[in-house]
Each structure stands twice: as structure tokens, then as C-alpha cells.
Amino acid sequence: MDLTGQISQLEADLLELGSLLEKAERKRVQEVLKQEQKKVEKELVIKQNQKEQQARREADPSAASKAAYTVKITNYAWDQSEKFVKIYLTLKDVHKIPSENVEVNFTEGSYSVLVKELDGKNHQVKVLNLLYPIDEKESYKKIKTDMILLMCKKQTTKKWECLTKVEKQSKDKDKPNVDGNADPNDGLMSMLKKMYSDGDDEMKRTINKAWSESQEKKMRGEPGGDMMDMMNLQNA
């Protein structure tokens, strides 16, 4: 059934629901009819918007492509289950355009989304180098209210720490380098250098003072050396 036929059916449904609502006497029955009436009204608005867009495209097929420009989709979140990585792309009114305007492509290591002719613009996002491989044939999209949900099927049930390999490399780079055979002083000194580099003036004065005192103790041969003083500073 084309959009015109769908709209006619929805309008007829609304008329009949209105007639039933007038006759209904019991409150519970009235509430059920009102809820169904709201659902049909919402669906009718969506179909009418789709028909208007279709009419504009048929009137001038080149007008949309001339007017539209492409912007990047930046508002997103992700989650995961045992079998899927779920990408939530927030896009106002995306549920009101024809579903064929939302093009989604999956590969083993990426996904891309192109939303055409929404609010006078095209909307696009492409993510490469996913952390682990996905099954592109079993991955799919869902269109929800103001949102596109991408269901990326995992090839294994392994838990993802982040979404992409680049994010993983960045996190690993920020982790301290732990070497069981390394001198503990080396790790402590690296930490203190970072504290000094990132700290404010007060932190720098405190580190300089502790370092000077520890060196004086070391030169006097006193127990407690720089390691103890630095540890005391760390725990302060």
C-alpha cells in the first residue's frame, strides 16, 4: 500500500476511534481508546511528513541534492551485551523520514551511517578500526524515536574495553609501565616527574623541597634516603 493509502486508512481509524470514544461509558475503556488514538495520530503525522518529502522529490528530484549539505553525527553512545555492541546515534526527527533515507554499512572492522535529507541536511558518521571483528551479515540497524540504533554482532563473546583500536592504544599509553625487574625508584621517579609537570606552583615547591631534603639526608648517610621521602610525599 502506498503512502496515500496508508494515510487514508489511518484517518479512517481515527474517525472510528473517535466514534467509539463518544459511546464508551467505562473509564478504563475510554483510557484504552485514548491511548490508541494518540498512537494513530502520531503515526499519521509521520506518514504525512513522508508524503510531503516524497512530493518535493518528485516535483524536483535535483532540488534536495542541491540544497543538502553533509554534517557529521557527533552525538552518540555505546553499550554492549554478550553478543552485540550497541551504538546509539541521537538524531532529532530521524524516525519521521523514510527508512530508506538511513543507509548503514557494516564491515568486519567498521560501520558507516548516512542519513539523507533530514532537516535540510545529510548526516554522516564513519568509524574505522573497531576494537574486535564484527559479523557484518548479522549486524543491523533499528530506527527509534530521535535515534538510530546499530546492533553490531560480535564474532566472539569477548568484552570490549572500548570501541576502537585507537582508543585502546591511547588508554594503554596512559597506563604506567609495570616491569617486575625494574628498580622501584624508577617508577616512583617517573610518577613524581609527571606530578611535577602537571602540578601547580604549590605542588612544584613541595616536590622541590622534598627532593632537596632527601638529597641532604643521602649525603649525610642518614637512613630513610630519597625513596622513603618520596614515598612520604606520595602518600601525603
Residues 6+ apart with CB under 8 A from 89: 73, 75, 76, 113, 125, 147, 148, 149, 150
Question: Rounded to an integer, what is the distance from CA 176 to the centroid of its chain?
Answer: 28
Q: pLDDT tens for residues 44-54? A: 888 787 787 77
H/E element, 90:
strand 84-90
pLDDT above 70 for 157? yes
Q: Which residues pair with 79 in a beta bridge?
A: 86
**Per-residue confidence band for 179, with pLDDT thresholds at 50, 70 and 90:** low
Query: Do residues 48 and 7 touch, judged by C-beta distance below 8 A?
Result: yes
Tell me the three state secondary structure of residue 198: helix
* Sheet of 134-144, strands arranged across: 76-80, 84-90, 147-154, 134-144
**Per-residue confidence band for 178, with pLDDT thresholds at 50, 70 and 90:** low
Q: pLDDT tens for residues 95-106? A: 999 888 999 999
